[in-house]
Structure 1
Amino acid sequence: MSTLSSQEIVELTRKYNYGTWRFQKGWTPMHIADAEGCYLITGDGRRLLDFSSQLMCSNLGHKNQAVIDSIAKQAQDLAYAMPGYATEARAELSKLLVEVLPAGLNKFFFTTSGTEANEAAFKIARMYTGKTKIIARYRSYHGSTSGSIAATGDPRRWAMEPAGKGQGVIFGPEVHCYKCPIKHTYPSCGIACADYLEHMIRNESDVAAVLVEPIVGTNGVIVPPDGYMPKLRKICDAYGVLLIADEVMSGWGRSGEWFAMNHWGVVPDILVTAKGITSAYVPLGLCATSEKIAAYFEDHYFAHGHTYEAHPMTLAPAVATIHEMERLGLVERARSLGGYMEGKLRELMERHVCVGDVRGKGLFWAVDLVKNKTTKEPFNTYSDKVAGKVLVVDQIAGKVLGEGVTIQAWVSHFVVAPPLIVTKEEIDRGVAALDLHLSIADGLVEA
């Protein structure tokens, strides 16, 4: 049992650690002492409904005993083996992945994060094609390491430039029908944002891959229209360009399918995932490739690796997580509760003039705030965040926390993504807490 008080834990953390994506001045991290089910327990004993699955990763909820037992057993059986060895956990997980991943993705490289998995995807794409450029999209996030932050379209990339511009990444428009970046109207546009990516490929000499989040995550849970992914798949095939799907956040049942790409019947050449693969109980990322890519490396040197690739302590809980998802029917549960969640959030939009849009699938939703519904202008931008301004969404999230609910706020929207074990009553509670305090933004709306 710890001899430190809750206050000492907070003070030591603040003194010796960096808070991410923020100014360090004023950071007072909340002490989380325990967690169970859909709830976090603070150092002073408060129970908080985890309405965004922490960072949209705790899909199974907290303290799932089967996953905990798998970690303990693996530590006893074999805590570590270098990547050149075969292990039982590696074999078991590989067999399960072939069953749950989109058909045809059956060669795997394991990492300890989504950002590392994306780095692997970029290297594999470049080795396989012999080309260098990656086309990514604005309003995207792919990680914080050198290559993955260079492929990130959102402003978190800005602090690393101009170095990021040397990583061979170029950016095209996101697919965002609510706020179309190229001012087109769906469906009469014929999905012009996909056509623009084709225009980029035609006018670049060296494109290895197009990188997309099938459902954009932190940047607003942006869901493409049904024709977008099939059209993009055809474009990539026509020009010999690989399609990389970053399902770090959208995978593992979150959208009501094992993987979001399944909604459109499209199989990428490379699929990257992390987070929900172990329900975040241990850090694990995955880069899965197609048969044609796997076949290429039979006779070509695979120039990538790291010490913790296929670490057995990360793989065993992934096996347990998949079994638990199947036992509890969580993919189907997310799908069935999606309609209920949508209904509650659309009621919220009707009651509050500050809510410009709600969008999502399954148990993966965004509530987008605007100060003018006609212009769709947000209350804040990322520039406000890096300038140290107090954001409207953060003000509301602070009040919601006072109601016993934690929710992920990002610049101008909330990400609503509770654990897949959530009940309707817990959804009601989370939405009610948000409903209570959206009046803060209502009062700031401009006519």
Structure 2
Amino acid sequence: MSSTDTTTPSETKLTSAEVVQITKDTNYGTWRYQKGWNPLHIVDAEGCYITDGNGKKYLDFSSQLMCMNLGHKNPAVIASIAKQAEELAYAMPGYATTTRAELSKLLLEVLPKGLNKFFFTTSGTDANEAAFKIARMYTGKTKIIARYRSYHGSTSGSIAATGDPRRWAMEPRGKGPGIIFAPEVNCYKCPIKHTYPTCGIACVDYLEHMIRNESDVAAVIVEPIVGTNGILVPPSEYMPRLRKICDEYGVLMIADEVMAGWGRCGTWFAMDLWGVTPDILTTAKGITSAYVPLGLCATTEKIGDFFQDHYFSHGHTYEAHPMTLAPAVATIKEMQRLGLVERAKELEPFVEEKLQALKAKHRSIGDVRGKGLFWAVDLVKNRETKEPFNTYVDKVSGKPLVVDQIAGKLAADGVMIQAWVSHIVIAPPLIVTKEELEKGIDALDRHLSIADELCV
């Protein structure tokens, strides 16, 4: 550095390669072996696209982690963050704030009717932790029934209730007391070997059997449409039957809408598809379109009334943080202004037609399923046996996955997509155009040959 150069080392602009190297050296990559982690350096994003450190643009075809529902750089949401920072950056949870009241009023408009008492969190896993505590305090019972092929978060209680292999490293302690698992609803590959519709929805009957034969069940938690683990859409009879069973046995119904909510499925919340109101609804992600971290645990008035005379034993420093609530207000208003819930529903048949055409063309596609702009392409080695190319064991052992090879080719082609074990998730921002949908699906079409060649 010359005697006239006043730039300090900390002010020196990092190259893209340096950014990646520092990140690898000093940060943990989540849900993976650290060896071989080579994160992409993202420097910009707008609309349905992200841009890397070399200036290459990618179609964000899974909305990052199925959360950027409004797309990137929505001006109204950005302005709301700046305005709130200027007016009131923080107030402890014991205070009322204007933005807290504004968001609460809007939530009463869009949530399933009957959910009108709110606890704000900073993530989906925090929201589920709150739901478990509330369910146990309210019922005086302990056990939570969750399902396999589920993900509810990474904190202690939420990971214990997660059915997928991300829980395994925490066991036996990680499973925690009072968590038991039921079969998931998966009509493509039923875990209890039944066939819909002649099964009579045996998977929900199994849940009733568990409740009847277990003492002390406080709640059942379900993703109304399972997210990362396969976009599993239940038959239309499932949720109304589960609601009836929970009511009959005095068990609370918790709907985890962290991923399926906020217009993703063509309704404000997935439970709206069946006209069912849970006792507790948890959500995050799309509530601010992921511009800032915010989660929500919403309960019925009946549960809320219980705590008028019973101690509510939960809270944290950042509950109802004004900086997280303001962008949620802006997000809801933008979704209403742009008609994005209706848009997701309108685009559903277009996406389904395109994906069904892919299935007819590629023998590696066993199933396509979804609602709104929330779809999975399930890959199989053999259509007759439905044998997948990879399993959960392959994922946790670090074995190369076929879906990851396809995702890598798509990235090279300018399309970013989320892949998980044996399926690919298609969940673009709700502002996506038909041309962008075609671009992403056409790119997938070009690279499914990788899987086709491995079929038997």
Q: 1:199 aligns with which of 183, 201, 209?
A: 209
Superposition deviation, residue 165 in structure 1: 3.0
Structure 2 partner of 1:147: 157
Matches within 5 A, 1:39-58: 39-58=49-68
Q: Quick check: 1:157–1:164 contact (8 Å CA) kept in 2?
A: yes
RMSD over aligned CA atoms reads 0.7
Superposition deviation, residue 405 in structure 1: 0.2
Superposition deviation, residue 82 in structure 1: 0.3
Q: Quick check: 2:289–2:331 contact (8 Å CA) kept in 1?
A: yes
- Report Cα offsets for 1:324-367 as digits up to 9, x if no partner: 00000000000000110111111011100000000000000000
- In 2, Cα distance between the equivalents of 1:373 and 1:34? 41
Structure 2 partner of 1:306: 316
Q: 2:379 aligns with which of 369, 372, 377?
A: 369
Match for 1:276: what amino acid?
A: G
Structure 2 partner of 1:113: 123
Q: Quick check: 2:161–2:175 contact (8 Å CA) kept in 1?
A: no
- In 2, Cα distance between the equivalents of 1:294 and 1:35? 41
Structure 1 partner of 2:391: 381
Structure 2 partner of 1:332: 342
- In 1, Cα distance between the equivalents of 2:220 and 2:449? 41
Structure 2 partner of 1:188: 198
- In 1, Cα distance between the equivalents of 2:332 and 2:310? 33
SS at match of 1:367: strand
SS at match of 2:278: coil
Question: Unpaired segments of 5 or more residues in structure 1?
Answer: none
Q: 1:247 aligns with which of 257, 262, 267?
A: 257
Superposition deviation, residue 166 in structure 1: 2.6
SS at match of 1:40: strand
Match for 2:274: what amino acid?
A: W
Structure 2 partner of 1:348: 358
Distance 1:337 1:229, change over 3 A: same
Deviates further, 164-173 or 276-285: 164-173
Q: Quick check: 2:157–2:176 contact (8 Å CA) kept in 1?
A: no
Superposition deviation, residue 369 in structure 1: 0.2
Matches within 5 A, 1:382-421: 382-421=392-431
Match for 2:153: what amino acid?
A: G
Superposition deviation, residue 385 in structure 1: 1.7
Identical counterparts, % of pairs:
78
Match for 1:228: what amino acid?
A: Y
Q: Quick check: 1:74–1:312 contact (8 Å CA) kept in 2?
A: yes
Q: Does residue 125 of the first structure (1) align with residue 125 of the second (2)? A: no
Structure 1 partner of 2:447: 437
Q: Quick check: 2:265–2:373 contact (8 Å CA) kept in 1?
A: yes
Q: Quick check: 1:50–1:406 contact (8 Å CA) kept in 2?
A: yes
- In 1, Cα distance between the equivalents of 2:27 and 2:99? 33
Match for 2:53: what amino acid?
A: G
- In 1, Cα distance between the equivalents of 2:263 and 2:135? 26
Structure 2 partner of 1:269: 279
Distance 1:27 1:207, change over 3 A: same
Q: Quick check: 1:107–1:289 contact (8 Å CA) kept in 2?
A: yes
- Report Cα offsets for 1:158-205 as digits up to 9, x if no partner: 000001233311000111000000001111111000000000000001
- In 2, Cα distance between the equivalents of 1:10 and 1:201? 50
Distance 1:220 1:2, change over 3 A: farther
Distance 1:344 1:310, change over 3 A: same
- Report Cα offsets for 1:280-305 as digits up to 9, x if no partner: 00000000000110010011000000
Q: Does residue 87 of the first structure (1) align with residue 97 of the second (2)? A: yes
- In 1, Cα distance between the equivalents of 2:175 and 2:32? 23
Structure 1 partner of 2:300: 290
Match for 2:45: what amino acid?
A: A
Q: 1:10 aligns with which of 20, 34, 41?
A: 20
SS at match of 2:176: helix
Superposition deviation, residue 382 in structure 1: 1.6
TM-score, with length taken from structure 1: 0.99
Q: Does residue 100 of the first structure (1) align with residue 110 of the second (2)? A: yes
TM-score, with length taken from structure 2: 0.97
- In 1, Cα distance between the equivalents of 2:405 and 2:175? 35
Match for 2:251: what amino acid?
A: V
* Runs of 4+ off more than 6 Å: none
Q: Quick check: 1:147–1:167 contact (8 Å CA) kept in 2?
A: no
SS at match of 1:183: coil
- Report Cα offsets for 1:25-70 as digits up to 9, x if no partner: 1111000000000000111001100000000000000000000000
- In 2, Cα distance between the equivalents of 1:371 and 1:217? 22
Q: Quick check: 2:165–2:396 contact (8 Å CA) kept in 1?
A: no
Structure 1 partner of 2:3: none
Q: Does residue 23 of the first structure (1) align with residue 23 of the second (2)? A: no
Q: Quick check: 2:167–2:175 contact (8 Å CA) kept in 1?
A: no
Structure 2 partner of 1:179: 189
Superposition deviation, residue 2 in structure 1: 7.0
